[in-house]
Amino acid sequence: MKKVNSVEEYLENHDAFRDILETLRALILSTPLEETIKWNAPTYTINNKNVLSIAAFNNHCCIWFYNGLSLKDEHQLFSKEEDANKALRQMRFETHDAINKPMVLAYIKEAIENEKLGNIVKHQKMTKELIIPEALQAVLQKNPALKSQFENLAPYKQREYCEHILTAKRDATKQARLEKIQHMILKGIGLNDKYKNC
Encode pLDDT of 127-178 as tens digits. 567 888 899 999 999 999 999 999 999 888 898 899 899 888 898 999 999 9
State the Cα angle at 111 between 103 and 74, rounded to 5°: 45
Segments of the chain assigned to CATH 3.90.1150.200: 7-117
Amino acid (one-letter) located at 183: H
Identify the pLDDT of residue 87: 81
Contact 7, 53 (CB under 8 A): no
pLDDT mean over 104-109? 96
Beta strands 49-56; 61-65: pairing state:
antiparallel
Q: Is the pLDDT of residue 36 over 90?
A: yes
Q: What CATH code would you report for 7-117?
A: 3.90.1150.200
According to DSSP, the residues that pair with 5 across neighbouring strands are none
Nearest CA to 191 out of 166, 168, 167, 162 is that of 162
CB environment 144-156: b (16+ within 10 A), e (fewer): eebeebbeebeee
CA distances from 102 to 28, 29, 91, 99, 107 (A): 12, 14, 14, 9, 9
- Tell me, yes or no, if the pTM score tops 0.85: no
Kindly report, residue by residue over 73-83, the tens digit of the pLDDT: 888 888 876 55
DSSP 109-134: HHHHHHHHHT--PPPPPP-PPP---H
| Crossing angle of helices 144-152 and 134-142, rounded to 10° | 120
Strand order in the sheet with 61-65: 34-38, 41-46, 49-56, 61-65, 89-93
**Given pLDDT bands bounded at 50, 70 and 90, which one contains residue 198?**
very low
SS3 34: strand
Residue 5: HSE in the Cβ half-sphere, 13 Å Cα cutoff: 0
